[in-house]
Structure 1
Amino acid sequence: MAATAIVATNYGGPEVLAPLEVELSDPGPGEVTVRVRAAGVNPIDYKLYSGAFGNDPARLPLRLGLEAAGVVTAVGPDAIGPAGPIQVGEEVIVRTDSGYTTALTVPATAVIPKPAEVSWEVAAGLLAVGNTAVHLIAATGVGPGDTVLVHSAAGSVGALVAQLAVARGARVIGTAAPARHDRLRGYGVEPVEYGTGLADRVRALAPQGVDVAIDTIGSDEAVDVSLALVADRQRIATIAAFARGFQEGLQVLGGGPGADPGTEIRDAAWRELLPLVASGKLDLVIAATYPLTEARAAHEFVIAGHAGGKVVLLP
């Protein structure tokens, strides 16, 4: 069986992305085959082919895509996922490294059930950012009565962090451009514009102080303001300012060198995230969708910045 995948044929910009016919193996023991209905786009996807993590020609053509959602079309013997046995016809979410494709065969352990109430687009775009958001909340111990500052609270990770913090009983102040403020208010977040004077604006909103700061953007402003407002550096976490984070003794989380990957927390996060999304208590904004064959345009849109939500490819 053949599938059409989008691969990086070289290292460079989005122009290196191209379709490739790939042979799909039948599922073996503990494996399933999934027809992909949607695939999430994440910044690490384009970093991989940009050469940021090396440019070994032996890795080409480079498969892409950390997350996908689709329908199970075949199962091998003993196909048991984290939620139990997997059946043909089941709608699922897939954790993978090659989600930009029309179909794929993966270990059953990488497949979790998709709630019927969750759209294909949201299902394919939720886990990479959602797992990160859950990790940030857990690592900083956000709870009732905390005042939490979320940098880039309208971004895909930041918006989920902000909503999860509100759900835990925290007061949340979120930085964003003014055009995003109404959306944040809808989440129960107090918006504040980033830029010069940010620390003073936050102090005016929270004269009693800030307990937790979560940086999802990695700017010097985010780190500087967090350090100025939060006394306990172990309650400041970043997923982007790696050099500054280590230098200042902050919690550095994610996939960077030396960062805490939070594997156990992230692997289990779907159990919290999916019921919240299915019940309408957690919102993931889909900024744009593109046909799979237009992956290059999708990446150009994401790289330009300020998408305001997740971008999803539709085979």
Structure 2
Amino acid sequence: MEEYRQKDILVTGGAGFIGSNFIKFILNNTSYHITNVDKLTYAGNSSNMVNFDKHSRYRFFHCNIADNEQLKRVFDKKYFAIINFAAETHVDRSIENAAPFIETNIKGTFNLLNYVIHGKAEKYIQISTDEVYGSLSEDEPSFTEKSPLSPNNPYSASKASADLLVRSFYKTYQIPVMITRCSNNYGPHQHTEKFIPKIIQHALQEKKIPLYGDGMNIRDWLFVEDHCRAISMVLENGKPGEIYNIGGDCEKTNKEVILSILNILGKSKDLIEHVTDRKGHDRRYSINFQKIYKQIGWQPAVSFDDGIRKTIDWYKHNLGREK
């Protein structure tokens, strides 16, 4: 009984982009049993989980982590770890209506932490974002784990709030929690409202590609499989109470990303259409991942050129099945 329990992981938000990629990574590379919990909103695509049911080490609950009554039935066992991917993540949506972000990102995190307090999991990993640090100018050094939190939109504020809640539970109750903060992910299964999938979709369909402002906003791009490998290493070797930045070592302007995709697809740059800039649009994100490299031995392995070609190839074959 003890041995079986040690292999159980609860993944929240496992129908989403990063969560589904993580489950695939764990099922393919470890002996862990996965319980996947997802609300199945627009971002939780059931097609992302289509092959998981074939695995004897997988089960799924349709559940909203912000609803504690629903969540109770998931805790019919004690888990080795809870890994919380479940989140509302799209900045534009948070600007239009922040309420769902407060519910899922803050209240949902609170509910999960309470189960850890009551001994239902041996460790907890909060999947966060570099956006909690705010924005950098072009010449400022990269964010470290000690950078102050300075979120600039309702989405990043809700994630920063959740991070502070996790930290407070560690300090107050000494429960074994960790936080990871990643740079911008890309790869297969990402919702087409996100930047790179939208570019690919519009380019393939010869539609105009909207580019906010002057197009010189900078993001640090991380291939999702690299991110999943990092989380797995934190699961095995991370220290309670620690924060780990996970970056791609790949800063590019939004315009550079669009031009790279257009070049690979052989499409004209005339498809680019400059549109009014987003409210509170952060200028630059940049992650210093030296801590996770020195302490755990992780670094990104997939170059942007290889990762973007794999991503484009996936969308070429799957766009018809995506939302």
Same-fold call, TM cutoff 0.5? no
Which structure would you say has the larger Rg?
Answer: 1
Select the structure that is richer in helix. 2
